[in-house]
Amino acid sequence: MGEIAPEFVEPMMARLQSHLPEESGWEFEIKLDGIRAIGIKNGKSIRLFSRRPRELTQDFSKIANALATLSPKQFVVDGEIVALDDEGRTSFQILQNRGQEEIQTHFILFDLIQLNGKSLISIPLAERRAQLQKLLAKARAPLNFSDSLDASPKRIWAEIKRLGLEGIVAKKLDSRYEPGRRSGAWIKVKAQNEQEFVIGGYTSPQGSRKFFGSILVGCYEDGKLMFASGVGSGFTHRTLEMLFKQFQKLRTENCPFANLPWRKSRGGFSMADMRRATWLEPRLVCQVKFFEWTRDGNLRQPVFLGLREDKRATEVTREMSR
């Protein structure tokens, strides 16, 4: 087989699960809270793409410049662009604020997909990561290798909870790279509930708040957008203003949620609520942290973290653990 040109590869995805595997043959990495990215080097050309794909090269030029210093002439790498909080934890919310203040970003690399004209997708994960670690041996910030955690699953999980981290990604050491698939060879276990939602509307502001009160979010189910919750916390004044400006381009007379008006045993959304809401074409995707799903399919204690531009609205479904 001849050489192949380095090009975008749709990232392999992890399946949500309720617990870590106990058997041997798995490696464990910290689950990162950032933007999944594919880095491509072809001679002097460096490009970064989100999983959608959307080009990120100009947005993260320091990372692109760092990738250019790596010795191979050609490669395709998989990783996560992150920002860190004061405790050294990755934070999507901080990453989203990079346009408002000077924030240092990092590219945490965890897989090597192509190298010098050869595809590596068919070789085991353990070998791909060994080659990636060698490639990054002399690399410095903002490039980092995602180290494996060397401890029992029980001890790893206890530490993740103690440190307040998002969760763990477990990967089979002998697994091949499966572009765009969620086969179960990679699994994620979350210590905190957090996922993407589609914004379908907003409510009027109350008291001293300006622009809007809450955003109305949901997920797709069988091709229909289903309401999940209003989200009223997690916004700065600047975020409220920025979102409100974007919302005005998407206003519509039609409610995008298939299950409204919605009235169940607790909470709900009545006809009166609907008359006070402003509806939006369901194009924007946001990240929301929350305590739990209720029995009625609502979110408890939701907090807005930021917009996501790396996922299409129609791809957003409720994440269910197995």
Active-site positions read 31
Q: Are 211 and 37 in contact, with CB atoms under 8 Å apart? A: no
Count CA atoms within 13 Å of residue 166 on its CB side.
23
Q: What kind and span of H or E run contains 222? A: none
| CB burial of residue 97 (10 Å; 0-12, 13-18, 19+) | middle
Are 44 and 72 contacting, i.e. CB atoms less than 8 angstroms apart? Answer: no
Please compute Rg for the chain using Cα positions. Answer: 21
Could you tell me if 97 and 103 are in contact, meaning their C-beta atoms sit under 8 angstroms apart? Answer: yes
Block residue for tokens 């929301």: 288
Among the residues of the chain, which ranges form H helices?
61-68, 92-96, 125-135, 153-163, 237-248, 271-276
> Around 196, how many Cα atoms within 13 Å sit in the side-chain half-sphere?
20
The dihedral region occupied by 309, where left means phi > 0, alpha psi between -120 and 50, and beta the remainder, is alpha
